[in-house]
A and B are shown apart, each in its own frame.
Chain A
Amino acid sequence: MTTALSTTAAKAPQAGVDLLRIVRINEEIKSVVNVAFKINIMALNAIFLAKRAGVAARGFGVLSNELRVFSQDLRDCMSSLTSLVHGCVNDVSLMLQDIRHTRLLRHAAEMTNGTRMAEVLARRERENERHAASLASQRKQLKRALEDAFRMVELGGVLAKSAKIEAAYGQSFAVPLSQVSSEFDGIVEEIRASLESLRHSAFFAGR
């Protein structure tokens, strides 16, 4: 019983730290969502620019369209990440509550004789395990969704780099087109770096 008590006590700071980490992940995802929205507007501008440039920027126009689709896909992907993060926040909060209840029930059990309390504790432990298992599964799903997002953004990076090359064929529009494509590239790189750091969050370590 003493061992289990200390295990429960050790879990409390872990759950608190998890909550902090998951909140940071959420903040990072929010900033990626903002940036993804920016790409959409940039892509629209780029499409108009390519139309004005005409035949010379046809390739660029196609890529801008692709980037617009990419920004939409990215936003969809981020909204599913957001709901997974919310699921994790919920489960970590439940675990924090479990930890407090378990601590108090254990303390009561230590001070009391009787089998009924042991049953109640066992039921509480089963509930704790259920919440922990749910968190583990959400954590795994979040990790997988982040990997998917990362691969998608790498593809976006290829698009942005191709747009840079295409911009060079834009004749009199080469300068504004390459400016736009550089901005694309910069932003996609920013998102890539964000997701890269999220993939390595300590929240995913060890479990």
Chain B
Amino acid sequence: MKTTKTIFQDGDHKWIAIVRDPEKPNYLIDTNEYLVAHGGQGLLLDPGGAEVFPAVFSALSSEFDPSALAGIFASHQDPDICSSLALWLEFNPGMRCYVSWLWSSFIPHFGGNADTFVSLPDEGADISLNGLPLQAVPAHYLHSSGNFNLYDKTAKVLFSGDIGAALLPPGEDGLFVENFDRHIRHAEGFHRRWMGSNEAKRRWCERVAQMEIDMLCPQHGAIYQGADVQRFINWFDGLQVGVVNG
């Protein structure tokens, strides 16, 4: 089973990270799922692939009533992001799924129907979770061509999807980045290869540098907090991406 960790709490406003499953087979990439809870409602960010559904569902249930999930936020269309959609919908058929308009007719291949999807326009959108303002922040081409981060300005948390992702070796897989320089080596190859556009990367760095962020939470690897957030933005800004050997 995965572990849950509350990374932010202010009354009933919470961010819960669902991470690290010792029983997960190695051929599946490790993913982090996040729950934003507010006023008894929840939004699940990148709920993960179908095969990890049991581990994510059970971990989530230990902290939160899954029938109180109002929706799913899918940063993009990858199978490790939301191929579990049909299973979540079995539990909660009325649940909505927020996703880029680019993918709103692709993701239904994972489940759902015409009523399930809320298409996000390229410029982003505001999402209200029982009165809590959340913001879908454009991060297109990083890596997906229709890609969003989710910002909670009240908690100062940015869910960054695949941006900031690291493939951590066993023993170095703590929930938070502890030593930035050592950590970032596990992120470099991923960013060079998966991120496709230097121009898009520059725009993202400029955009998020102006936001107040205490925690930057990627879908793989460890969470950047405090000064490491700006460190990451600077590092990413200087990295040449869209590089492939061969």
Contacts and interface: CB of A to CB of B under 8 A. Distances in A.
B102 interface: no
Contact of A114 (B61, B84, B87): B61
Contact of B58 (A101, A111, A123): A111
A116 B51 contact: no
Interface residues of A, number: 16
B90 A105 contact: yes
B176 interface: no
A101 B91 CA distance: 12
Nearest to B91: A120
A140 interface: no
Interface string B73-97: 0000000000010110011000000
Contacts of B51: 104
Residue among B50, B55, B57 with max Cβ neighbours from chain A (10 Å)? B57
Contact of B55 (A105, A111, A120, A123): A111
Contacts of A110: 54
B3 to A, nearest CB: 13
A104 B58 contact: no
Interface of A: 100-101, 104-105, 107-108, 110-114, 116-117, 120, 123-124
Interface of B: 1, 50-51, 53-55, 57-58, 61-62, 66-67, 84, 86-87, 90-91
A108 B58 contact: yes
A111 B55 CA distance: 8
B195 to A, nearest CB: 31
Nearest to A106: B54
A120 B95 CA distance: 15
Contact of B54 (A107, A113, A116, A123): A107
A117 B54 contact: no
* Secondary structure class of chain A's binding surface, majority of residues: helix
Given A107-B54, A108-B53, A116 B87 contact: no
A108 B57 CA distance: 6
B54 A120 contact: no
A117 B91 contact: yes
A107 B1 CA distance: 11
B1 A101 contact: no
B91 A104 contact: no
Given A108-B54, A111-B55, A120 B61 contact: no
B16 to A, nearest CB: 16
B67 A104 contact: no
Contact of A111 (B54, B87, B90): B54
B1 A116 contact: no
A92 B56 CA distance: 29
Contacts of B62: 112
A116 B68 CA distance: 12
A112 B57 contact: yes
Contact of B66 (A105, A107, A116, A124): A116
Contacts of B55: 111
Given A100-B50, A104-B51, 13 more contacts: A104-B50, A107-B54, A108-B54, A108-B58, A111-B1, A111-B54, A111-B57, A111-B58, A112-B57, A112-B61, A117-B61, A117-B91, A123-B90
Contacts of A117: 61, 91
22 contacts: A104-B51, A104-B53, A104-B54, A104-B84, A104-B87, A107-B54, A108-B53, A108-B54, A108-B87, A110-B54, A111-B1, A111-B58, A112-B58, A112-B61, A112-B62, A114-B61, A116-B66, A116-B67, A116-B91, A117-B61, A120-B91, A123-B90
